Structure 1
Amino acid sequence: MANQVSERAEEPVTTGSAFAGAQYLMGLQLFTKLATFAMNIVIVRLAGIESFGVASVDFELLLATLLFLSREGMRNALLRTTSDPPTRSTQRKPGAKDQLLINASLVPIAIGMVMADCAYLVYARGSNNERRMAMVIYIVAAWVELCVEPLYVLSRARVLFKVQAKCEGIAVAARCATVAMLLIIGRQMAVDDDNPFSLVAFAAGQMAYALTILAAYAWYMSCELEYRVWHCYVPRKSSAGYFVMPETRSMAVTFAGQSLLKHFLTQGDNMILAMHASDAVKGTFALVTNYGSIPARIIFLPLEEASRAMFSRQSNGSPIENAKLARRVLDILGKFQFLLGAILVVFGTLYSPTLLALLGQNDKATSAAMVMYCLYLPLMGVNGFLEAFVHSVADRTQLVQANAWMIVCTVTYAIFSVQALSVLQFGSAGIVAANMGNMAMRIAYCAKFIKQWFQSKRLPGPKISEMLPHRNVILACAGSALAIIITQSYAGKDTLLMRLMSLGVGGLLGLAVLATIWKYERKFIGAVQDLKSGNVDKLKTD
């Protein structure tokens, strides 16, 4: 298997290949979120809301810290590096470009080993036996997952999104199966409803994920590479006498600093919850973010990754033509986010309490936090593709400036979130509101950067007017919101039948909104199809 050769012809990274590959990532995220959604329902019943809160906040914070800080800076730097083109012939060793990618991708593994040792010394002290054992397993699992980096980097350089989707999908299935199995076994052994595996099950699931994704990448990449997989773990000097290109080192350091700030922003809520909230509050917030982040994971994240892959290649070809294409892609992504955001704001805010009640989560605090999260999601989507553009085209000086602004965002977010949680007693909804303010600040910076970037090219930048939905679509959304409010006010007693009837009305109104989009946004739908198919010339002339 290891010496099989990919017969794909040379396939450069293009707008089409990047966005066509996003469909695999969307499929992966759909499977991941549905599997996690189902698993969370089981977990809360078998392990309890407190254990769910510890695993979702404390353990996930530990895992994210180890993985994000070890690999994110190098990953972003290597996005701008190409691999050797696939060939039909076998070769014993990686080519020059592949070897440089391999050398650089081995750095996170070494960093991760040091961070894992430090994490053990910090986190393992003062914990009870069960929590300490779970943390140790999480730490080891994080390092095992870092061992995937060389294979991941090579697959991303060759735009093998399908391989990524397969590997991560298999690993997610292994994690869910392991957690569920151990919790069920623990439930049978429980005394006084105290599941002995309530925390260890999560750690074992993460270890199963790490081992499975490593094995899956080794299997699938052995079919894509022209050399044996073990070569991906052997560093070799380049002809110039260095292991990692100086430019890559420099960019990795810059991105690492930005990754540290981004980590505080993305994990800031978990950090604050870990310090200021009870395990029950952590569990409630984890439920809201897990349920509410389904659109973000399924749609926003794949689009952000595809955007980053495409925008990172802006240095190839004609600068003016690439800038025109980038402007058109930004317009398309902006309109997509506005359309999706309108649907989320109308249907998400009005129906999330009903959906939570059907899932057995009927308290006001959870409903309020979910409503706020539906308002937060559109901001998250817009920020995702804007930051993807900024990080892909900015030079080192501009990245340093972006880092400085992110420091301001981090400090502002920390102040408001602590106040909302500890002083104002807004609970989970307060943390989501602080996140909204943080996201708005980041969007404002990106918008300013993009405007100046296009001005430097002597080209007009993207316009909000080009991104706004058609007025009839806006009217359809507003009319649907009014109809839902009237229906819910006259629904009478809050019974299961009335909830299902209310959801049925919402489904019909949702179809009406989609039909309106189909009728009045035909040009936009055609542009999305061109973007997916890689019809670059047509995009430039639209």
Structure 2
Amino acid sequence: MANKVQSSDPPSATAPAAPSAVRGASLLIALQIASRAATFIANQLLLRFLTAQLLGVATQLEVYYLSVLFFARESLRVAIQRQGGRETKDDSEKKEDKDGKAKKSSSASSSQSAVNLAYVSILLGVLVALLLGQLYLTSINNTTGDDDSGDDDSNPPFLVTSLYLYAIASAVELLSEPAFVVLQLRLQFGARAAAESVATVLRCATTLGAAVLSTRLASASGSGTGLDIGVLPFALGQLAYGVGLLAVYVWFGTGLARRDGFSLLPKRLLSNTKKDDYALQLFDRPTLHLASSMSVQSIVKHVLTQGDTFLVSILSTTTTQGVYALANNYGGLAARLLFQPIEESSRSYFSRLLADDSASRSETGKKTGAKEKSENTTASRAARDLQTLLKLYVLLSLVVTAIGPAAAAPFLGLVTGPRWAASGAAATLAAYVWYIPLLAINGVAEAFVASVATETQVYRQSVWMGGFSAVFAAAGYVCLRVLDGGAIGLVAANGINMACRIVWCLVFIRDYFASRDVSFFGDAASTLMPHPLAVLAAVVTSTAVRRLVPAVSAFAGPVAQITQLVKIAILAVPFLLAV
């Protein structure tokens, strides 16, 4: 029979100190920069061997992998973070003890509850991997009847084998979820940095090693050069990544479990209040309920996030898929390096900062005296922090859109070589630059919404997101089929969809703070909009770059491309000083 751990209410909802949150975000940003730099270098070497068609197939497999992980753990992760930060005043008083034993017991039980919930993600992951894998196999069989013998880039060799490896890799990564969630609750950013760093190094080494080895074997056998094993190096690299994550997270999680008295294996929980607080005496019912209510929104969000890949798979060729994937990889580099860590840290920060306010308002709508003043102070602090983030993103958008489009072609020609010059990737990347600001603003806005939205508001957001997905599909059809815009048309369709999502989030944020007597936008010109001189500097710089820096051919040598990038950088210096 499983051991029983005494459980009480979740840990304290005290607002995180700003310096702690900043340190955590800074560490995640540094981690992303280091890991993406290693991945970037490995990808540059791989691109010398890849064609646009082969990269398109690899992108499809990556979407399968990300879909399995997203559907299995996203809603549970958010629910655990939100429920883990809530505690009433009475609960806090119960935990006070002379020697701190009660507090330690509560911490252990809340950690055990989070660990148990993580096993739901593992079970869901296996089911989703089987379902999506079967759907993908069906689509492959409709194209070719031979599993592993494809002889063109749209159905490369070892495609089905690679699919199986991606499925196994997703299951291996999900096995690290019990340790991850408890380390995340304890704000152990160092453990996450170590895990992702080790995993990234393993993935890069494995992917590149498999590609180089296959090329040498092909050359030795006289069959020519190139990746004759198709996308198999990517699959092997992803499996190595999952193994690395699992090993490091289990190492750190085991040490934390030993110190705090909980287990990384599921254990039964006993409630101090009601017997039905836990399903099967394992899973916290309120958290499960919140996760289930957020699951529909998560599905819609993922379809919207990866909808560009789904849509382009239906409406375009694998060549277009590869071109867009290349532009997305480079154009979205800033989003993965900077915006994603800030988004994750913001979600955790606002969840904890506003947890008491959200919980108490769900219980009663009456606020009086010092408590109301305290909550207004907390809401004002959250509004100022969110305004700061959005203002910084707006200023960053000026820099990106003023310089980025002109730098796209020489940058791409330098890092990928002439192999991709005729694919239209440079023009697509230049268009993608205008999409980056929308990604940034939407990320932090949706992070705030996920931190404070009630179940009713989550359902309402899901309905709106469904409407936006229809807008996205219509825009995609017009841009890809009617206007024949190719990958650039897909960027435009994504921009329309992202703009709709941003408007909804900003309206939600305005109403949220207004209900707490805090004016979020106030004078929008001074709160969020950049200074008029900064806008003027951006316009002047963009015009100067286009006129003073002549475009070079994508087939030009690296010296010409580096020279053009240096000229653009020189023109950017006074602009940055002005901003």
> Could you tell which deviates more after superposition, 491-500 or 129-138?
491-500
Alignment correspondent of 2:330: 291
CA pair 47-488 structure 1, distance change in 2 beyond 3 A: closer
Q: 1:52 aligns with which of 44, 55, 60?
A: 55
Count of equivalent residues: 506
Q: Does 1:345 align with 2:358?
A: no
Residue pair 1:96, 1:238 contacting (<8 A) in 2 also: no
Residue pair 1:26, 1:299 contacting (<8 A) in 2 also: yes
> What is the alpha-carbon distance in structure 2 between the residues aligned to residue 180 and residue 496 of structure 1?
23
Matches within 5 A, 1:105-184: 105-125=118-138, 126=141, 128-129=147-148, 130-184=158-212
Alignment correspondent of 1:523: none
Cα distance, 1:228 vs structure 2? 8.6
Which whole-Å deviations, capped at 9, do the CAs of 1:155-182 have from their partners, x for residues lacking one?
Answer: 1111112221221111011001101000
Q: Does 1:503 align with 2:565?
A: yes
Cα distance, 1:455 vs structure 2? 1.5
> What is the alpha-carbon distance in structure 1 between the residues aligned to residue 552 and residue 308 of structure 2?
36
Q: Does 1:450 align with 2:484?
A: no
CA pair 76-266 structure 1, distance change in 2 beyond 3 A: same
Alignment correspondent of 1:315: 355
Alignment correspondent of 1:35: 38
Which whole-Å deviations, capped at 9, do the CAs of 1:503-538 have from their partners, x for residues lacking one?
Answer: 222212323233234xxxxxxxxxxxxxxxxxxxxx
Alignment correspondent of 2:253: 221
CA pair 107-330 structure 1, distance change in 2 beyond 3 A: same
Residue pair 1:93, 1:227 contacting (<8 A) in 2 also: no
Q: 1:481 aligns with which of 542, 557, 561?
A: 542
Q: Does 1:275 align with 2:294?
A: no
Residue pair 1:189, 1:196 contacting (<8 A) in 2 also: no
- Secondary structure of the residue aligned to 1:457 is coil
> What is the alpha-carbon distance in structure 2 between the residues aligned to residue 454 and residue 11 of structure 1?
20
> What is the alpha-carbon distance in structure 2 between the residues aligned to residue 327 and residue 294 of structure 1?
28
> What is the alpha-carbon distance in structure 1 between the residues aligned to residue 65 and residue 283 of structure 2?
27
CA pair 409-198 structure 1, distance change in 2 beyond 3 A: same
> Could you tell which deviates more after superposition, 429-438 or 74-83?
74-83
Cα distance, 1:462 vs structure 2? 2.9
CA pair 433-152 structure 1, distance change in 2 beyond 3 A: same
- Secondary structure of the residue aligned to 1:233 is coil
TM-score for the superposition, normalised by structure 1: 0.87
Alignment correspondent of 1:246: 285
Q: 1:256 aligns with which of 295, 320, 335?
A: 295
The amino acid that maps onto 2:29 is M
Cα distance, 1:12 vs structure 2? 6.6
The percent of aligned pairs where both chains have the same amino acid is: 29
> Could you tell which deviates more after superposition, 175-184 or 91-100?
91-100
Which whole-Å deviations, capped at 9, do the CAs of 1:383-433 have from their partners, x for residues lacking one?
Answer: 111111111111111111111110011111122213322332211111111
Cα distance, 1:498 vs structure 2? 4.2
> What is the alpha-carbon distance in structure 2 between the residues aligned to residue 490 and residue 228 of structure 1?
61
CA pair 209-489 structure 1, distance change in 2 beyond 3 A: closer
CA pair 281-309 structure 1, distance change in 2 beyond 3 A: same
The amino acid that maps onto 2:74 is E
> What is the alpha-carbon distance in structure 2 between the residues aligned to residue 229 and residue 349 of structure 1?
55
CA pair 238-409 structure 1, distance change in 2 beyond 3 A: farther
Q: 2:70 aligns with which of 68, 78, 82?
A: 68
Give the gaps of 5 or more residues in structure 1: 1-9, 518-542
Cα distance, 1:312 vs structure 2? 0.7
> What is the alpha-carbon distance in structure 2 between the residues aligned to residue 121 and residue 474 of structure 1?
51
> What is the alpha-carbon distance in structure 2 between the residues aligned to residue 436 and residue 489 of structure 1?
28
> Could you tell which deviates more after superposition, 216-225 or 200-209?
216-225
Which whole-Å deviations, capped at 9, do the CAs of 1:179-236 have from their partners, x for residues lacking one?
Answer: 1000111111222445332221111111100011000111223343444999212232
Matches within 5 A, 1:356-505: 356-359=412-415, 360=417, 361-363=420-422, 365-463=424-522, 464-465=524-525, 466-489=527-550, 496-505=558-567
> What is the alpha-carbon distance in structure 2 between the residues aligned to residue 499 and residue 181 of structure 1?
29
CA pair 224-516 structure 1, distance change in 2 beyond 3 A: farther
Alignment correspondent of 2:151: none
Cα distance, 1:122 vs structure 2? 3.0
The amino acid that maps onto 2:235 is A
Q: Does 1:203 align with 2:206?
A: no
Which whole-Å deviations, capped at 9, do the CAs of 1:313-334 have from their partners, x for residues lacking one?
Answer: 2023732111101110121011
Residue pair 2:549, 2:568 contacting (<8 A) in 1 also: no
CA pair 208-93 structure 1, distance change in 2 beyond 3 A: farther
> What is the alpha-carbon distance in structure 2 between the residues aligned to residue 365 and residue 491 of structure 1?
15
- Secondary structure of the residue aligned to 2:518 is coil
> What is the alpha-carbon distance in structure 1 between the residues aligned to residue 100 and residue 484 of structure 2?
63
Cα distance, 1:41 vs structure 2? 1.7
> What is the alpha-carbon distance in structure 2 between the residues aligned to residue 305 and residue 106 of structure 1?
22
> What is the alpha-carbon distance in structure 2 between the residues aligned to residue 36 and residue 418 of structure 1?
33
> What is the alpha-carbon distance in structure 2 between the residues aligned to residue 494 and residue 189 of structure 1?
32
Look at both structures and tell me which one has the larger radius of gyration over its CA atoms: 2
- Secondary structure of the residue aligned to 1:237 is strand
> What is the alpha-carbon distance in structure 2 between the residues aligned to residue 328 and residue 91 of structure 1?
34
> Could you tell which deviates more after superposition, 321-330 or 465-474?
465-474
Q: Does 1:14 align with 2:17?
A: yes
Question: RMSD across aligned C-alpha pairs, in angstroms?
Answer: 2.7
Cα distance, 1:11 vs structure 2? 9.3
The amino acid that maps onto 1:164 is R
